[in-house]
Amino acid sequence: LSLMYDMRQKWVPAYLNHIFCAGMSSSQRAESSHAFYKSYASKKNTLMDFVIRFNGALRHQRHNELVADHVDINEHPKIKSN
């Protein structure tokens, strides 16, 4: 248990808010988030426009995650041999 506690510095930074980040640095995560938000914000848009577009994007992203989860759970990989 003590060894696991000492090793936490190697695996804890990989997770942020229960999201696996595969070794991305905090600045890479921030840049990715900023790019996502920027694509839905504009000086011409009202706050309501932003919220509507952002919610639509989140619904689309969540749908894609659910489809991917379904495929992972229900489909079996094809095994090939030479």
| Domain ranges for the chain | 1-37, 39-76
How many other C-beta atoms are found inside a 10 Å radius of the C-beta of residue 29?
A: 13
- Model confidence band, residue 41 (pLDDT cutoffs 50, 70, 90): confident
Q: What gap in Å lies between CA 56 and CA 13, rounded to an integer? A: 30
Distance between CA atoms of residues 37 and 21, nearest Å: 18
Most confident residue range from 1-10, 28-37, 42-51 = 42-51
pLDDT of amino acid 81: 82
- Span 43-79, pLDDT tens digits: 888 889 888 988 998 899 899 999 999 998 998 878 8
Distances (CA, A) of 10 to 1, 5, 23, 26, 58: 15, 10, 10, 15, 30
pLDDT value at 16 more than 60: no
